Structure 1
């Protein structure tokens, strides 16, 4: 689906009606207007991570487009969307077609690390821009970094460091991991182990399970309980995380004093579980709607577009990355921005970032967007005073400590 967005046509675009690409370009040339900037939102719109990203991320990107055009009246933007179906070949082929046939200038989101790495490669080949607001692999700013890619929201290094280090300092010195047996699970467990040991803690054991075939975690939870660990680290995501937490509650692990650390989870997951099940969980996010006045203002502006769905950090990352990209396009001129994705990303790095979701920040040479990481604890039901009032802030990791040091990533750009 294509959403053609002009200052007068934003509401029409949100309803799914589009101005044909050729006509938009022809009008631009005939009227002497700046060329159209085309953005493609590539996400999960139908699969297991739809509620994480997909429609809500698209709504947040639409909000960023509306705000950018209001601030820069000459800016003209068109949005496309596609479902990568969590398949690398489909994601790569989609963006290749976008770049070659639809004159797309930048791709946003891609909430799958394997697909994200493939998209980053295609964007570099075609000299376009990739705004990775959903992919979690730290390789995007490491050995596989690209001058055409910005990784905005989080990565495996940040998630594992912020959660594990803060929990060890809070007394959670003995850990047991339940890990999904695929690349993401392996990576985040390995990185968390390093931070736990560096902080003075230890890992008493770990067990891996087949992904995505496992729905019964009872045997794994019994092993965790028998280990004597103080913290159960869940190195998984999505429905696996939700199911594991529900079953851990049924086994009474939290009542026996074991805290549960979610290595990757979102407000969306907490909403799915409900506070009676999720209370006491700890997790790291880089955005929360009720963090400060600016985040609350953003939620107020975007609420109607999301249909009441509260944005999580991935959705907020899509908004913020898009807004900064469009600010950069306006500053350097749309025609120039369309000529070179690499030059546009370099300009994005040179310009300080500032938005209502993440506040002030910057983008490093390796493409890593820097902002604080927040460790939250999920509230008890009686503590929640409003819809989505789920988190209590436990600890804040400053930007310079939250993400992998530039010199340690192996990025040639550094």
Structure 2
């Protein structure tokens, strides 16, 4: 159990830590290449959509053959995508590399795949806590990597910084050996009580699964809009780039505590109520941030409080999926829920760039984020957390 948690947490730390800093490249790249913010935002939006789409198939493969091969492939794609991101000279090439390649890489190296391993190897009574530990690792990666990325950009230049990260992300490959599962060896595939089609039909007909997907859509919209566009928003308001770097790092630091707490509380409290509180609290925090006078201090307070709520939706959401449907198809079903998250991410990051280019302001997107937070809090309240009741399969007479 300890090996699974340590290696899984380290992989998420690297993969999520690097992607959380992409907003730091928005201004250097657009200014040097002569691109609009929408060009950069579209590539990151495609990245989130690609991550969601490929995440479904990565989950299917990990459920069927184990996570090891999926993670190795994801690490290779991640390194290739970062190199391509550095060498891109057109918006299309940037979208193909920073968008599609890195999105596919993240699908194979983050939560859906890692949580499948955790779900299969951690007892149910500790599963929500363990998922909180893995999510906290992703948050620590943001706290650790965002300042490092800012330092690399200022010290080496944005292209060279991406090349350094392309080498660093290959460390995921040796860590994947700690997630090899013997049950997925030759001739050891686990028995399948449901086919993929049966599992999907069951999940998508179940109202609580639909409500979880709706809430996760909002999560993606909010966090990716803030993560990508807040550095530029603060720069437009006259604050230094260092304020944005420190703010993103604070989000990562405080989310270590927020995600761990959400996972631990999920062992004792109703997970749907935890989710409803998180989404409503986000709406309130954003509204207060916009209403208060802007200063470095107000930014740091906002980042710290938002950090407590940042990825804290991940452990209870995935734990509810496991609780309702079991672990047999957990990576795949988590991938579908995450796909909804990534549709929200696509809209959040793309609308941020599109509406900024049209209006010269991010205000409309901030207001949308507030309204969606209230919506997500409401849709999570009716979720039923109990295990789904399936008819017992008919047993054939012995010797039939």
Tell me the TM-score normalized by structure 2. 0.30
Q: Which has the higher strand share?
A: 1
TM-score by length of 1: 0.29
Q: Which protein, 1 or 2, shows the higher relative CO under an 8 Å CA cutoff with sep ≥ 6? A: 2
